[in-house]
Amino acid sequence: MAASEIIKLMDRSEYYLDSPPTTDHKKTLQGKTVINLFYENSTRTRTSFELASLKLGANVINMTVDSSSVKKGETLIDTAMTLNAMHPDLLVARHGDSGAVHLLADKVDCSVINAGDGRNEHPTQALLDALTIRRYKKNLAGLTIAICGDIAHSRVARSNIYLLTKMGARIRAVAPATLLPSQIQKLGVEVYHTMAEGIADCDIIMMLRLQSERMDSALVPSKREYFHFFGLDSRFLALAKPDALVMHPGPMNRGVEIDSVIADDIRRSLIRPQVEAGVAVRMAVMESLVA
Amino acid sequence: MTQKPQSRLIRGARLVDSIQTSDSPQDLLIIDGKIAEIGETISAPPQTETIDAAGLYIAPGLIDIRVQTREPGGEHEETLESAVESAVAGGITQLICLPNTDPPLDEPALIAWIRQRGQSLGKTRIHAYGSLTKGRRGEQLAEMGLLQESGAIGFTDSPQAIGSARLMVQALKYARGFNSLVLSHPEEPSLASGMMNEGELATRLGLAGRSSLAETLLVERDCLISEATGSRLHIGPVTSAAAIDAIRRAKARGARVSCDTAAHYFTLTEMAVGNWRSFAKVAPPLRSESDRLAVIAGLKDGTIDAVSSDHSPRAPDSKRLPFAQASFGMVGLETLFPLTLDLFHHHGFTLAQALSLVTAKPAAIVDIKGGTIDKGEPADLIIFDPNQDWKIDPEQFKSRSKNSPLLEYPVKGRIHQTLIAGRVVYQHQP
């Protein structure tokens, strides 16, 4: 996607974010069917897409596929073919495996929105993050943005790296080496292994969720050690620019990757604005694909 | 029923043995399935069937030392019958099955049955490795002596590695008394959980990487164990620069180790995975371009002794899945020959050098007859045109499975006929 297209989407998202709901919005996807196909549990992303569809007047069907029906033998492609035969106008899909949504999109006739696939991508999250940053910092170009934490397993990190570097921001990846994927620097980021260095003079600090299974697979020793060295607290935040802002894609582990006080500090935390931007961004994306 | 001819004369082809290609066309006379005579002009005895091979080449039939068939247990993917149909189309006259069937080949009766089945099919000669451990579980040694008496020609849990160093030590020590060949699958299991080669592409695709360190570690370990126990060891498939270098050093120290690679490791790189293409998902994974070149260099300097197909048939439903869920493996019986000829066409190997990697050299590793053209030996031969251009089309494969990423891949070199014991078992239909 070209930077100009991204800007167009962001502009349109901002329009939806700022304008009160109108009946015109409701006509945008009137009579259209959106299927939310979620192979992974998700409260906020699914709700956000559902709300965006409803605001645009679409009919929404939620399908949460738990692992039991996978065990019954129906493959992703079988499901795709079945859904395709119902002629939806748009499919919103999330899957635990990288590339799965790509595979799905190959097999159906309608547009497919990737709502997160494995550790690959989560494009609408990156768009809403970019929009949120732009609203508070005016410009994306020239900003220094630190993405901190479990980058290896994060689709949010990858999508943000692609989008924000394209928009001219400088991206730092800050994490212990066990949580960084191989050759991440080839994606155009600078790599740091300490928060002090990684956060110094940053405009934006984007924290990522640390799953507890990372301890089981010996990637980090313990939550308390992680928080001590990689959790965002006032000590580290003081090293960033004085007006630096904090983001988190949610759901947060308070006291693991982020201190509660910072998460709730409305002068520094963009976590709530991120969620608000989410619905608007998804409206703009759906509109661009279907209307 | 027509009487099968007792003798057959192949006229006018150039002969490629493991040393060289003959300067001039030769005639080759087969009597009772064996090579009776080779010469410039042979006068055929009465009732001899003549095969005109003018302009073509004759070489020994290929010997593929790494083949997964799926019988017993996975007949929807490949049977022994479909495997030999596929093999003869690929010019392979002897193949050795890996023991990863269901049940695995850890029972002497199963080894005997597979050999008998091969004989009754009357095409590619089928040999089998016994599994190295009971049930391929990596815990207790399988009955190597009894398996060997039933015809097992080596022992391995491949494509599963032996994770326990202690077990590998015991296996190699025990094998010494039976003069058996042990084959090691070189991937340290605790490091081999990734889905594709570790690196930039895996990071971009969001796939867990599988580092070549897993391979190097196990190669180093097993070379050391082989040296310590004095037992012969074969390692394969090797795929990465550091692992090949480890073998090069072990050989220089005098270790009794040999190794093979599979044709796809010098043909393709991780880039074949493209956008999560599961047909390019193999274990060990397709590596980087520098690893690919290291494989070719290893073949050239003799560090790598042989090329196998690493044939691994998979049904569509086990491949048409998100990459992480898809099975490992690609079919290779029908592409081994043309891909190996790429070494001749593009990498400075002579025709004889390239073909020796799939004939005499693998035969020597597993110590079976064949792979050469000698008077008095069975006439297992291929007649081929080394320069014929074609494009690979997996849908045309005789194999029951079509899981090859090489769709439309341009190759040079076409098998025209495959003979086993003097009988034409495959005839290319243009």
- The enclosing H or E element of A228 equals helix A223-230
Contact indicator for A110, A90 with CB cutoff of 8 Å: yes
Q: Do B276 and A99 touch (CB under 8 A)?
A: yes
Report chain A residues whose CB lies below 8 A from the CB of B281: none
Q: How far apart are CA B283 and CA A13, in angstroms?
A: 45
Which residue from B44, B95, B15, B43 is spatially nearest to B332, judged by alpha carbons? B95
pLDDT at A213: 79
Domain annotation for chain B: domains and CATH numbers = 7-58+378-427 (2.30.40.10), 61-366 (3.20.20.140)
Interface of B with A in 290-319 (CB under 8 A): 317
Low-confidence residues of chain A, pLDDT below 70?
67-73
Terminal alpha carbon distance of chain A: 19
Is B380 known to be catalytic? no
pLDDT in tens, B368-422: 999 999 999 999 999 999 999 999 999 999 999 999 999 999 999 999 999 999 9
CA distance B200 to chain A (A): 5
CA dihedral (A97, A102, A106, A108) positive or negative: positive
pLDDT in tens, A245-273: 999 999 999 999 999 999 999 999 999 99
Nearest CA in chain B to A101: B322
pLDDT in tens, B13-29: 999 987 888 889 999 99
Contacts of B101 (CB under 8 A, 6+ apart): B69, B70, B71, B72, B73, B74, B110
Residue A242, both tokens? 């004085």
CB atoms < 10 A from the CB of B188, how many? 18
Nearest CA in chain A to B191: A217
Report chain A residues whose CB lies below 8 A from the CB of B207: 98-99, 118-120
CA distance B189 to chain A (A): 15
pLDDT at B313: 98
Asked if A100 reaches chain B (Cβ–Cβ under 8 Å), the answer is: yes
Report chain B residues whose CB lies below 8 A from the CB of A100: 322
Q: How far apart are CA A204 and CA A248, in angstroms?
A: 11
Q: How far apart are CA B248 and CA A202, in angstroms?
A: 49
Q: Do A103 and B325 touch (CB under 8 A)?
A: no
* CB contact burial B401-417 (16+ within 10 A = b; e otherwise): bbbbbbeebebbbbbbb
CA distance B315 to chain A (A): 14
Does the pLDDT value for residue B356 go beyond 70? yes
Overall average pLDDT of the B45-55 stretch: 93
Q: How far apart are CA B91 and CA B16, in angstroms?
A: 14
Residue A187, both tokens? 């994606």
CA distance A162 to chain B (A): 10
Contact indicator for B205, A120 with CB cutoff of 8 Å: yes
Nearest CA in chain A to B322: A100
Going from the C-alpha of A29 to that of each of A52, A58, A146, A286, the distances in angstroms are 10, 5, 37, 9
Interface of A with B in 233-272 (CB under 8 A): none
pLDDT at B1: 45
Contact indicator for B140, B169 with CB cutoff of 8 Å: no
The residue annotated as part of the active site, out of B106, B157, B291, B310, is B310
Residue B265, both tokens? 């490791």
Asked if B429 reaches chain A (Cβ–Cβ under 8 Å), the answer is: no
pLDDT at A275: 95
pLDDT in tens, B294-322: 999 999 999 999 999 999 999 999 999 99
Contact indicator for A73, A16 with CB cutoff of 8 Å: no
Pairing of strands A190-192, A170-174: parallel
Q: How far apart are CA B256 and CA B75, in angstroms?
A: 37
pLDDT at A210: 93
pLDDT at B160: 95
Asked if B193 reaches chain A (Cβ–Cβ under 8 Å), the answer is: no
Q: Do A76 and B209 touch (CB under 8 A)?
A: no
Does B358 or A75 have the greater pLDDT score? B358
Write down the H helix ranges in B312-403.
Answer: 316-319, 336-346, 351-356, 360-366
Cα B160 to the center of its chain, rounded Å: 17
Q: How confident is the model at residue B8 (pLDDT cuts 50, 70, 90)?
A: very high
A59, burial (CB in 10 Å: exposed 0-12, middle 13-18, buried 19+) = middle
Asked if B275 reaches chain A (Cβ–Cβ under 8 Å), the answer is: yes
Does the pLDDT value for residue B5 go beyond 60? no
Contacts of A183 (CB under 8 A, 6+ apart): B199, B200, B203
Report chain A residues whose CB lies below 8 A from the CB of B324: 97-99, 118
Q: How far apart are CA A254 and CA A231, in angstroms?
A: 9
Nearest to A102 among B198, B203, B276 (CB): B276
Select from B193, B200, B203 the residue whose CB has the most chain A CBs within 10 Å, as the one to mutate to test that interface: B203
Tell me the sheet residues that pair with B259.
B235
pLDDT in tens, B227-284: 999 999 999 999 999 999 999 999 999 999 999 999 999 999 999 999 999 999 999 9
Q: How far apart are CA B34 and CA B27, in angstroms?
A: 14
Maximum separation of any 2 CA atoms in chain A, in Å: 56
**Tokens 């209307």 appear where?**
A291
pTM for the whole structure: 0.94
